[in-house]
Amino acid sequence: MKTIEKLQDKYGINDDKILGKWGYALFGFAAELTDEQLYYLEEENIISYIEVNRRFQLGI
């Protein structure tokens, strides 16, 4: 979790924008990011994958 906190500090991601943190089976976090924060996180070599969260609705 210290790595996530370091990334938060480095890129100015406030705690109120963090939606979840994982540190056991999966290591990562979910957050509401600005375009600039997303751009710089994509350049981090310790991050292997970024997925955009999308809302969807299933129809009947």
Please give the helix or strand (H or E) that residue 25 lies within, else none: none
Least confident of 4-8, 25-29, 37-41: 25-29
pLDDT above 90 for 60: no
Tokens of 5: 């906190």
For tokens 């070599």, the residue is: 45
Residue 21's beta-bridge partner residues? 29
Number of separate helices (H) and strands (E) present in the chain: 2, 2
Q: Higher pLDDT residue, 7 or 26?
A: 7
HSE, side-chain direction, 13 A CA sphere, residue 51: 6
For range 22-48, the mean pLDDT: 93
- pLDDT band at 56; cut points 50, 70, 90: confident
